[in-house]
Amino acid sequence: MTGDPGIVIVGASLAGLRGAEALREGGYDGPLTLVGDEPYRPYDRPPLSKHVLAGELPPEATALPQQRPLRAHWRLGQPATALDRTRKAIRLGDGSEVPYTKLLIATGARARPWPGEGAHLAGVFTIRGRDDAAALRLALARPPKHVLVIGAGLIGCEAASCCRDLGVPVTLADPNPTPLARVLGTLVGGTIVECLRRADVAYRAGTKVRALMGEGGHVAGAHLHDGGLIETDCVIVALGAVRDTEWLAQGGLRADAGGLTCDAACRALTRAGDPDPDIGAAGDVARWPNPLYGGREMTVEHWGNAVEQAAHAARSLLRPDDPRPYRHLPAFWSSQFGINIKAVGLAEGADAVAIVQGDRAAQRYLAVYGRSGRSIAAVSFDQARWLPSYADRIAEGAAFPPILDATDQGRVEILAPGFPPARPGPAADERMREMAHV
Amino acid sequence: MRVVVDLNRCQGYAQCCYAAPDSFELRGHEILFYDPAPPDEARPRIERAQQACPVRAISIEPASLDREDAL
């Protein structure tokens, strides 16, 4: 270890762990340090908004398997607070410095807090980390009289589903006509509306919460923009995530609230626009030009991307002489209301959707999204086995709709997907956040 | 021991549920619920589940990890 500080990975969640494994698998034998702001070894997040809330799994059961020996130094419970590229060191929350030879940035994202009045009231929760899920689980076990979930994305819908499984009354509020409207469109979102109705969730479409108000320091209600009031003693804020990039502000890299910009090989770009060959990035925080989308810059806050991008970025650090572009077809899954939802591609911006397998009325079907005659995404409701065939067609940019001659297909319906109009402001980035994770 | 299933890969073939019924369970048509922290004595069954998975979606922490992971 004389003199060589080795590779430092900042972020000890899924991408950090898989990046560390990939470095060892790629033959890296030098010193390896993992830095994490939470006191825990890497754990799996998807169960938090499902089985941990439901009380089926204790939060600590989510620890991830480490697939090979890492022989790593773990610096847990300390966030990185600054990057000094000139001196090749990062600073931690306790003031200590960690030097690096190479750096893999996998700091991810954190739950977007309630932006309005009442964020600090007791009984207001977000779901991102183990501690968040543990605290919310305690509150749900009490149980509350009436839960309000703000935001009908994946996490909001999964939380609402859990509440109903526990028998807790729940209202789900979202500005859009259906849940997942920006991710899947309102036509497919209508399937979730049907699930909500059957599960007795009060879905409040077109509803914006203005402020949370409390009594004796505990949340008691939500004031709506239209003047209405929802009485609640437990609020789950599910408004997506914001990237953890503040610590990079003085590092001379292209980092902002939308992520850390990288080249196609997942190496961080300096402000001048050149890749720093000693700094890679992966997972929720990494914004890179995805060759599968003509080099469009994107961040993908999903499990599968954390795994694949971490391996790719690790390779780019080990093989600076041979950088290769990271080509990725986004994918996610969710289970809610007894249905397994899986999706591939980016449906946003689609001009048509075709029900290519199954039956929408039976809530068991596969829908493919098209734009300008090309297949761009697919979603399955309890039809996962068909999805890989369509994923291949989407990855190769096949004509829309693809696969029209399967013997088990009925008449293929082509419909309008019903995406809400783009939001004002930095819309593209907002929409990417809406993709936010499972 | 630690287990994780890549649920992007999982297609609900349920072979794991036959190999290790205490640790894997199919709910509804194709939702896989599994125990990510099964007891060590379940390892032989979990390894059979891993082998039986047609889409190779199950990852297990190696039994030798603790020994080999030390600095």
Fold annotation for A331-434: Enolase-like; domain 1 (3.30.390)
The 10 Å CB-count burial string (b at 16+, else e) for A92-104 is beeeeebebebbb
Dump pLDDT digits (tens) for A207-250. 999 999 999 999 999 999 999 999 999 999 999 999 989 999 99
Q: A residues 61-90 near B, CB within 8 Å?
A: 61-73
| Residue A363 to residue A199: CA distance in whole angstroms | 14
Residue A402 confidence (pLDDT) = 86
Mean pLDDT of A249-278: 96
| Residue A262 to residue A270: CA distance in whole angstroms | 9
Give yes or no for residue A311 having a pLDDT over 90.
Answer: yes
Residue A422 confidence (pLDDT) = 81
Contact A70, A32 (CB under 8 A): yes
Of B4, B60, B69, the CB nearest to A71: B69
Q: B residues 43-62 near A, CB within 8 Å?
A: 59-62
C-alpha distance from residue A248 to each of A81, A91, A255, A270, A303 (Å): 8, 11, 7, 11, 23
Domain ranges of chain B: 3-68
The CATH homologous superfamily for domain A124-239 is: FAD/NAD(P)-binding domain (3.50.50.60)
| Residue A271 to residue A268: CA distance in whole angstroms | 10
Give yes or no for residue A342 having a pLDDT over 80.
Answer: yes
Give yes or no for residue A426 having a pLDDT over 70.
Answer: no
> Using the beta-carbon criterion (under 8 Å), do B35 and A57 form an inter-chain contact?
yes
Whether the ω angle into residue A401 lies within 30 degrees of 0, i.e. cis, is yes
Q: Is B15 helix (H, G, I), strand (E, B) or coil?
A: helix
Of A60, A70, A384, the CB nearest to B12: A384
* Distance, CA of A107 to chain centre: 13
Confidence of residue A391 (pLDDT cuts 50, 70, 90): very high
Was domain B3-68 assigned CATH 3.30.70.20? yes
| Residue A19 to residue A23: CA distance in whole angstroms | 6
- Intervals of chain B under pLDDT 70: none
Nearest residue of chain B to residue A32 (CA atoms): B71
> Using the beta-carbon criterion (under 8 Å), do A56 and B29 form an inter-chain contact?
no
Confidence of residue A407 (pLDDT cuts 50, 70, 90): low
Domain with CATH 3.50.50.60 in chain A: 7-111+242-318, 124-239
Tokens 């600095």, located at residue: B71
Residue A193's φ and ψ, nearest 5 degrees, are -55, -40
Nearest residue of chain B to residue A14 (CA atoms): B4
Mutate to test the interface with A, among B30, B32, B66 (most CBs of A within 10 A): B30
Contact A167, A145 (CB under 8 A): no
Confidence of residue A424 (pLDDT cuts 50, 70, 90): low
- For strands A209-215 and A218-224, give the pairing: antiparallel
The CATH code belonging to domain A7-111+242-318 is 3.50.50.60
Nearest to A375 by CA among A404, A396, A348: A396
Token pair, residue A389, equals 């065939």
Nearest to A147 by CA among A173, A177, A128: A173
Give yes or no for residue A18 having a pLDDT over 80.
Answer: yes
Contact A345, A389 (CB under 8 A): no
Q: In A, which residues are within 8 Å of B6 by CB distance?
A: 303-304, 307
Dump pLDDT digits (tens) for A67-91. 999 999 999 999 999 999 999 999 9
- A24 to chain B, closest Cα gap in Å: 12
> Using the beta-carbon criterion (under 8 Å), do A384 and B30 form an inter-chain contact?
yes
Contact A383, A341 (CB under 8 A): no
The 10 Å CB-count burial string (b at 16+, else e) for A173-196 is bbbbebbbbbbbbbbbbbbbbebb
Which residues sit opposite A89 in a β-bridge? A84, A99
> Using the beta-carbon criterion (under 8 Å), do B4 and A338 form an inter-chain contact?
no
Percent over 90 (pLDDT), chain A: 91
Q: B residues 3-32 near A, CB within 8 Å?
A: 3-4, 6-8, 10-12, 27-31
Contact B61, B35 (CB under 8 A): no
Token pair, residue A416, equals 């309008």
> Using the beta-carbon criterion (under 8 Å), do A61 and B36 form an inter-chain contact?
yes
Residue A410 confidence (pLDDT) = 67
